[in-house]
Structure 1
Amino acid sequence: MLSGCSLFSKHAPVDDFLNKLSEEHVITSHDILLPEARTNTIWHDDIDIVNSNIAHFKVSGKLDTWSLKHFAYSKDIVSDVVCDFDKIFIMTNTGVVVAIDKSDYCAVWTSDIGLKKEKVQFSSMSIYGNKLYVTANNYFLILSVVDGEELVRVPFQNYITSGVCLSDDDTKAYIKDDRAMYSVDTSSGRVTWILLGTPDNIKIYARTKSLLYKGDLLITDYSAGQLSVIESKKGGRLYQRVLFPQGHACEIVQLSLGGVICQPILDKKNDMLYFAAGPDYITKYDLKKQKAVWSKKIPGIRKMLLAGNTLFATTMGRQAVSVNIDNGQLSWVANLDTNLSKQGSRDFLQPLLVNENLVVVSANGEMFTVNPFNGRVASRINFDSGKVLAMCVIDDQLKLFTKKGMIEVR
């Protein structure tokens, strides 16, 4: 399955496709448009943060608090944008990882993954401690965040179709391709075990990573509609549960090929797992009792965010929805598609919760702020800057990486 792995350092010089901050201007009042929202009920509960997709930058009704900043790059950004305390990390579609200084937006170092003329098809990046964990096509790498030194490189035979899940002590990395699950020693790059039979037959659509729950791995077998729990030290399969049995009291339907379509959310405190299935169902699964609690039909689910007793989701129908996790009932539905909406790729990126707003960004350069309590759409901002490729929150500021540069929202 695997070719050899080695430890070496290989760096590309800092390319000239990353330039310094070049311009700044303020969005004026004519840039904001107000679409309608359809509200079912009002959500009264306080927001108690459960996962990490939370930002604390200030969103004000006055548009002079929003500014645009651009810096140019000539290659498309792929994968998630991640950051540490002083640098931003991006990956281009040519397989070059770039570290950018937060203060002046200059490139600090680059590292070429070595894909040659091949474009990046599957990729992920994540930071743990002072190491950057990278997957790109069939390569798994660990880089130093300080200088980009390549610490570990493991070439796989097949494309890696998941993000990286680390063990509690950071000594093992767990990744998947379309044929198996692998445990990789993060010091040596040695594969410690391989578990065959974790198919992901929708490689392009659902690149989710496994989750670690009480020392064991939770893996969703997409084609089989099953939850697999694996002993992380030796790779033995502890048990499997069918997630969507026919005739279930909660009306959970039997899945066809290609089940889980976006990253599941694990609530470790309450031993609950939330996942989108179908793609028309959101399901709450009790890990202790090993059974589904409820399932709610919501057509076209794409992204999810959990906060307090509420699960927010976006759909292919250009809607944002709020679901009460106690009973699975809809609290409200907000329509984010109007006759003012732009054309082009209109898929939503991961929603973010700010101090008093749910922020939803569309790939075609639109941003919506939605009241999380009643679903009222407070604003729509149109960024004339090309397709939004990625986004992240840095120092309480939202940064959107587009075809034309970076937009900074503050």
Structure 2
Amino acid sequence: MNREPDNKGSPLLSEAQRLAWLRLIRSENVGPATFRELINHFGSAEAALAQLPALSRRGGKQAIRVCPLHDAMEEYEAMQRMGARLVALGEPGYPPHLRHIDGPPPLLSVTGANALSQPRAVAVVGARNASLAGRKMAHLMAEDLSRRGYVIVSGLARGIDAAAHGASLKGGTVAVMAGGVDILYPPEHDRLLADILANGGNAVSEMPFGWKPRGRDFPRRNRLISGISLSVIVIEAAKGSGSLHTARFALEQNRDIFAVPGSPLDPRSEGANNLIRQGAALVTCADDVEEALAGRIEPDLPFDLDVQEPETSGGGLPSEPSDNLRERLIMALGPTPVGIDELVRHTGESARLIQILLLELELAGRLERHAGQRVSLVY
């Protein structure tokens, strides 16, 4: 499926393609980066699904769970009954900045209108146990930015997130969920979520419909918050706060990071103050943010990692790499992440063969992917 760089005018997936994409991303050991490599190697999700068992066996795992069509149809129909929809990478409704991160989610579950498609998006995040002053700052910052045409993105959490969402309802705000788009957390934000959707905002998640969020799911949510946005504003974040994880993802994604300074006597300000010392821009009002962004509607130097699925595609399993190459690659890998380009140079083989071997190992549960196109071996 050919795509325009700005997503405008891009064709929608057919229903059969959408179900195949859903099956592929819900299959065992298939994450966003693996999904992209599978599509690029085999030409379509349907072709990739047929090859998962063989790839997994070659990587050392005899049985891999491939998501059944019935399960995908059940999830798809449950979403439709709720009024949610699946938006695929490259389709017009996909967040324009999110497609430029390393390993963008191939599918998003979305409820609400079209705030997600706006390029002028800014994240406002911070402490759950925020002070009254912190909540007021989040409200003022989000309200003013919203009035100037920015969509406010946050995580629907207590404290700063809730204040930012509530202040930007009229301009459209995006709530990024850690669980399924139908699972509200925290549950007391049911009215806030209803107001977000009623005012043209969105709720969005990459997790399966009906998924209850676990602790490990919140970093994935934070990665989406920063990925959807041009920049991230941190207001009150204690040392080790999840908001600092969002800032770290923003740095990896080459987003602007802003922080509101706070009292050195308040531990809730330690994280934001540290960000400023490390180079984040100090901001105290919407003017500061707008001046720093200088009218930009695209992040600088974005990744460009769209998957490509032609209307007609074939593609069988590539020639099996030799056992000698497989052994050399495994010997070169270890618990320390190494760049895929380095592996190609070390082995002297084609990037395509190395990528196939990495797919085998990942589908067998023996490989972990890291930011910056790096991988490590799982023991």
**Under a length normalisation based on structure 1, what TM-score does the superposition of the two structures give?**
0.28
Of Structure 1 and Structure 2, which has the larger fraction of its residues in helix? 2
RCO comparison, higher one (Cα < 8 Å, 6+) = 2
Of Structure 1 and Structure 2, which has the larger fraction of its residues in strand? 1
**Under a length normalisation based on structure 2, what TM-score does the superposition of the two structures give?**
0.29
